Amino acid sequence: MVIANALICDADSERLGDVRIHDGMIVEIGDSLSDEEIINGEGCYLLPGLVDTNVSLKDGHLNGKNLVSLARYALGGGVSTVILNSDLNPRIDNEITLEFVHQHRRTKEGATIECSISALNDAGALSNIAILLKNGALSVSTSTLCDYNLISRIAQYLQMTHKPLFYKAVDKSLFESGVMADGSVAASLGLSGISPLSEIVHVASMIEVARHFGIKIVFKSITESRSVELIEQARISGIDVACEVGLHHLLKNDSACKGYDSDAKINPPLVNEEKRVSLIRLLQDGNIHSLSALHQPNSDIHKDITFNDASFGTTSIGEYLPLCYTHLIKNKIITMSRLIELASKNPAQSVGLSKGVIKVGLTADLILFNPNEMTQVTHHHSLYKNENLYGQVIMAIQGDLLTKF
């Protein structure tokens, strides 16, 4: 099979050309290649599949139906590999739940599903981290811990296994007292706000943990520019830390919550316009290292209620690539090649996967994306509901499996 006349774009470059695939492998890249089966990609981008390392399931429920649904929905948004968050129900903290996820790792016409494992079990004790990592989990995850004995023990396991810690910096005492970001919009709506200190102080403390133990920490869903600056300063000094930002915090601000729109109630909360613009600037400066669709879907019963009572989260991964193209590429905030670095190569590298490049010898993991088509966001619990987006995923090639949309 040859994908012909496409704009081949990966984290390294953009170039017009053809890609030959045989037995699921990329065997040749060139011009005017011939084959019995030729797919004309003229006017389209041929991209590496995106990788999202911060994905939740509907209502946080870990079951077969939700996994199959996620796999298909994600692939339609250009995401060929997802890393599930561990704080599901049931929590991914033991061999049984890990094996269940692995049984659904690959489904026909869907993204590959991997997972992070929870550092702690439901009782608050350490999970069997070493065994779970040995059995195929790609990372360890936790939100803010104030027990530095536990933190030290987790760090020691990570030293042994050379795996990353996915860390969500949030102070529960501050976060649980609010429903959106602290500020003028929250005040005007009469809603309790969440202080930015909920994130910043814990980023600062965990940077020191990364320095002391020599472990890699990926800070998840960062929203505060001060947090980004602290992480970048640490990287300059040689500490192995990285910053992930959710796409919503680059595209929307807290004014989306006006009218008490519960679809704009996400975790972490949307920040004000000044902070959003600051995050965009930091993205352009190279201080943000990976992106996530921050997919946190919920059923109607958890969203069609008052803002205070509604669950955090929005549906987004099915429109991930069109959202990025519309708001980041067409607006010339970043290039497509830079997007692939942020949304494929870097998140994959953080968990030890090799993605984000198109070259001979690699298994085909490709997305054919037509920027001239339009995608309408139809999901009624999307932060972007009823928006018309530029671009559409028209095909995914995963090994010898071809999926058309």
Asked if residue 405 is part of any domain, the answer here is no
Q: Answer whether the bond into residue 196 is a cis peptide, omega within 30°.
A: no
Asked whether 154 and 165 are in contact (CB, 8 A), the reply is yes
Total number of domains in the chain: 1
| Residue with token string 């997007």 | 339
If you average pLDDT over residues 266-271, what whole number do you get? 96
Extended strands (E) in 213-261: 217-219, 241-246
Residue 329, domain extent: 48-355
pLDDT in tens, 152-198: 999 999 999 999 999 999 987 777 789 999 999 999 999 999 999 98
Query: Could you tell me if residue 255 is inside a domain?
Result: yes
For residue 63, the Cα-to-chain-centroid distance in whole angstroms is 20
The answer as to whether 25 is a domain residue is no
Band (pLDDT 50/70/90 cuts) for residue 148 is confident
Task: Look at residue 16 and tell me if it is in a domain.
Answer: no
Task: Establish how many alpha carbons lie within 13 A of residue 225's alpha carbon, considering only the half-sphere containing its beta carbon.
Answer: 16
User: Is the residue at 31 inside a domain?
Assistant: no
Model confidence over 205-258: pLDDT tens digits?
A: 999 999 999 999 999 999 999 999 999 999 999 999 999 999 999 999 999 999
109 pLDDT more than 90: no
pLDDT at 404: 96
Residue 262 lies in a domain: yes
Q: Which burial class, exposed, middle or buried, applies to 209 when counting CB atoms under 10 A from its CB (0-12, 13-18, 19+)? A: buried
In a 3-state reduction of DSSP, which class is residue 48? Answer: strand
> Is residue 361 a part of any domain in this protein?
no
Residue 67 located in a structural domain: yes
Please report, for the domain that includes residue 164, its CATH number: 3.20.20.140
Q: Mind listing the pLDDT tens digit for each residue in 96-105?
A: 999 999 999 9
Structural contact between residues 288 and 248, judged by C-beta atoms closer than 8 angstroms: no
The reply to whether omega before 268 is within 30° of 0 (cis) is: yes
